[in-house]
Structure 1
Amino acid sequence: MNAQVVGRVRRRFATDGVEATPAAVVNAVRGETGVFGNTAVLRLADQVRGELVGAGPLAPLLADNSVTDVLVNGMQVWVDRGAGLQRAAVRFQDPDDVRRLAQRLVAACGRRLDDGQPYADARLPDGTRLHAVLPPVATCGPYLSLRTFRQRPFSLDDLVSCGTVAVTAAPVLAAVVRARLAYLVTGGTGSGKTTLLSTLLNMVPRSERIVLVEDAAELRPVHPHVVALQARTANVEGAGAVGLTDLVRQALRMRPDRLVVGECRGAEVVDLLGALNTGHEGGAGTLHANAPGDVPARLEALGMLGGLPRAALHAQVLAALQVVVQVRRTDRGRVLESISVLEPVVSGSERVTGVVPAWQVGRGAGPGAAVLGRMLVERGVAVPAALRPPVGSA
């Protein structure tokens, strides 16, 4: 009965072309026969409006602060609350409902999704990232992937209290930011890189200017002087694209005290390294890497996209970056796994980048602790206890 009412009201708005304001939806639902009581009317009105202008049956999941990802496979809905995927109780009537929802959400963001363009990336007004794929490319689809965006900022103490950052590691991270060391937050997809980077940017002195360059605006540091630049994809005619490389170059003309690239994924890494080598200390970014030791190879691959030879790339990296902060996704949630330093290593006849752990979860200080400690002392920052050798050790 409810599904029939929702369907009739939805078709009425589609036919009449009337704006689906909350009041108009309530009046339309109230006008349907067989619906009694204010509670039922308001509940159905919310459902109708969600299907007309919102995320439809996915709206309650996206509103759940514990949900980080909502995935739709055909008619199955899965959610991730930080501990792996779980089936959700949400149901669609048929794949056409999923298709209509995907096309409406994508169209509202100025993108195209149809048989001629069967996949699309979009960002919803609340910041949620959407990716959609239609059949026949999606063999059992349509497929929807939504990554939620939470406005609530996290402090370092918040990450310590929830177990993401160890108590001993928190002062090390704070010292890295205070010393204006350049760092990369690395990890796999969904490991919490952006959340940790945003938290670290919260600790930048209020007298400094942060310029953010992102493919999709996700970083929201709590800081009084933040300037954000976001890449733009091409329009339906294939024109108007603005890439990260262009934005990094623009950012350099904006007097950044801290230049931050939300995610290094292409040739823009060459411009970032160049910027960090020309006096822009304390810069940061995120990078996909399964382990800290994979970072040099990832940077090599990205540097090649920008036309930078291998030897030159390593020379730039060693001069520009000092620290790698690795995060990992576990069954218990997202955790800071290690803090490492970048050091030169001789490989054959070349001087390349090596990654040496300075602190590791469950192990404490690593072989790179002394190196990181010296970097901090040189910049007038006290060495945290987690990086000091045990009392009485040689």
Structure 2
Amino acid sequence: MTVTRQDSHSELVEMLDGQVRERVRSDGVDPQRDAGLVRRIAEDVVRRHDERSLTGAVVPVADPDGVVGELIARVSGFGPLQPFLDDPEVEEIWINDPSRVFIARRGRHELTNLMLSAAQVHELVERMLKSSGRRIDLSQPFVDAMLPEGHRLHVVLEGISRGFSAVNIRKFVVRASRMSDLVELGSLSQQAATFLDASIRAGLNVLVAGGTQAGKTTFLNCLAAAIPGGDRVISAEEVFELRFNHPDWVPMQTRQAGLEGTGEIALRDLVKEALRMRPSRVVVGEVRAEECLDLLLALNAGLPGMCTLHANSAREALVKMCTLPLLAGENISARFVVPTVASSVDLVVHLGIDEHGVRRVNEIVSVPGRVENDIIETEPLFERSDGELRRAPGTPTRLERFQRIGIDVHQILAGGR
């Protein structure tokens, strides 16, 4: 049987991996929290091995720096997935089964040549959940968690998914933090960005809609960055994904039920709690159920806010916004919800991904508050045609709010700055 160089390297790394793990255990090092200490231990183990190789007792390490990096990934990072996590071009990683690991780059996905074992996948999931403080078991077969670098982990346990546990890691890739960054990326025009920036400062309520991976959270971050520094911001999410700089911001996330089946904190609970915290603005990462009712009631009471929602168009986003509150109970009727949505939502921004995988704003519509035959009227402010986001003939709502802070919105929409 021929032993290849790859086999020899793998055996060497396995041996050094065992030595590093033994040192980590004996020194009481937390490999997730103390990555710097793990690096020093790995460097020391590799250096000692190289010193022994001078006597001929062991084979030398051909690439010490590369082996140290591999050991850190195995012990402190996330093993064979770590190179994808470190690659700034990779946006998402998912495992359908141990032999089928996919990644997404620039909005397009590809099958990698990485082959894992079921034991490796199980260990990776356990390690990731350990860093998040969340759990997955037969009674809780789904989990959403946040990894140390801000990436979002979603796992569906084997038995619910057929054959193997399904794992998704959506990376937090910072490509834009303000509206001006989105203009540079080609997501929207300068005129539209100026208008949205002014709308947030004026306190308009904005609904950001789009499909999966359309960039809704990134767009919400950029909108939130325009909130005046004197405002107090309270945000609510399933897991922490929002990232924006603000001097007075309290972010909150949901919590799973404990082993006893108690202690769960749902998104609806957070929206209600946010209203008790003297907010000037409320931001909800994504509405998808009955928490939509509580957000609507807050917006309708005059509290400015914004949220994201899955929808295929601005029109469908408003329809969904009218449907979700009905999940809150039989005593909630469309007769109440539809006019409430019409009077609470001021702008809808719909995002999409083009054929090249580029995320773009497809339309921005104003909601003037009128309802005709149970249909909420809208006015298009910007529409994408021939690849460009162009000014449409619609008129924005809440003009008095722009005037109050000294903004001439008509000049912005006429093309001025």
Give the TM-score normalised by structure 2.
0.83
Q: Say which SS state the counterpart of residue 66 (structure 2) adopts.
A: helix
Residue in structure 2 matching 1:346, options 368, 372, 377 = 372
Distance (Å, rounded) in 2 between the aligned partners of 1:84 and 1:233: 32
Question: Unaligned 5+ residue runs, structure 2?
Answer: 1-7, 32-37, 50-56
Partner of 2:11: 4
Distance 1:109 1:377, change over 3 A: closer
Q: Mark the runs of 5 or more structure 1 residues left unpaired by the alignment.
A: 390-394
Q: Which residue of 2 aligns with 1:80?
A: 104
1:1-394 alignment runs, 5 A limit: 1-11=8-18, 17-18=25-26, 19=29, 20=31, 21-30=38-47, 34-37=58-61, 40-74=63-97, 75-89=99-113, 91-113=114-136, 118-150=141-173, 154-281=177-304, 283-307=305-329, 308-330=332-354, 331-342=356-367, 343-347=369-373, 351-362=374-385, 364-367=390-393, 369-372=394-397, 374=399, 379=404, 381-384=407-410, 387-388=413-414
SS at match of 2:89: coil
Whole-angstrom distance in 1 between the partners of 2:294 and 2:161: 36
Q: CA deviation at 1:190?
A: 0.9
> Which secondary structure state, in structure 1, belongs to the residue aligned with residue 235 of structure 2?
strand
The answer (yes or no) to whether the contact 2:284–2:306 under 8 Å persists in 1 is yes
C-alpha displacement of 1:385 = 5.3
> Separation in 2 of the partners of 1:359 and 1:382?
18
Q: CA RMSD in A?
A: 2.8
CA contact (8 A) 1:373 1:387 kept: no
Q: Check whether the contact 1:185–1:325 (CA below 8 A) recurs between aligned residues.
A: yes
C-alpha change, 1:113 and 1:42, in structure 2 (3 Å) is farther
CA–CA distance in 2 between the matches of 1:263 and 1:26? 44
Are the aligned partners of 1:211 and 1:227 in contact in 2 as well (CA < 8 Å)? yes
Shift of 1:212: 1.2
Q: CA, structure 1 residues 93+178, in 2 after alignment: closer, same or farther (shift >3 Å)?
A: closer
CA contact (8 A) 1:364 1:386 kept: no
Shift of 1:82: 2.2
CA-CA distance at 1:48 after TM superposition: 2.4
CA distance 1:128–1:377, shift in 2 (3 Å):
closer
Larger mean Cα displacement after TM superposition, 151-160 or 110-119: 110-119
1:77 Cα deviation after fit? 2.4
SS in 2 for 1:168: helix
Change (3 A) 1:182 1:88: same
- Higher mean Cα deviation, 133-142 or 290-299? 133-142
Q: 1:327 to 1:93 in 2, by over 3 A?
A: closer
Q: CA deviation at 1:14?
A: 6.0
Q: CA 1:51–1:384 in structure 2 vs 1: closer, same or farther (change >3 Å)?
A: farther
Q: Name which of structure 1's ranges 263-272 and 106-115 shifts more when overlaid on structure 2.
A: 106-115
Residue 324 of structure 1, CA deviation: 0.4
| Contact preservation (8 Å) 1:293, 1:354 | no
| DSSP 3-state at the match of 1:126 | coil
* C-alpha spacing 1:201/1:384, structure 2 compared with 1 (3 Å): farther
Residue pair 1:166, 1:361 contacting (<8 A) in 2 also:
no
> Structure 1 pair 246/12, CA: closer, same or farther in 2 (3 Å)?
same
Letter of the structure 2 residue corresponding to residue 63 of structure 1: D
Distance 1:228 1:116 in 2: 28
CA distance 1:212–1:73, change in 2 (3 Å) = same
The TM-score with structure 1 as length reference comes to 0.87
Give the letter for the 2:407 counterpart.
V
- 1:210 & 1:243 partners in 2: Cα distance? 19
Q: Secondary structure at the match of 2:246?
A: coil
Secondary structure at 1:340 match in 2? strand
- Contact 2:351/2:359 (<8 A) preserved: yes
Cα distance in structure 1, aligned partners of 2:11 and 2:138: 28
Letter in 2 for 1:356: E
Deviation at 1:10, TM superposition (A): 4.0
Match of 2:54 in 1: none
Report the alpha carbon displacement of residue 236 of structure 1 after superposing the two structures with TM.
Answer: 3.1
Between the aligned partners of 2:333 and 2:298, the Cα distance in structure 1 is 17
Q: Match of 1:132, SS? A: strand
Contact 1:68/1:79 (CA < 8 Å) preserved in 2?
A: yes
Displacement of 1:196 in angstroms is 0.9
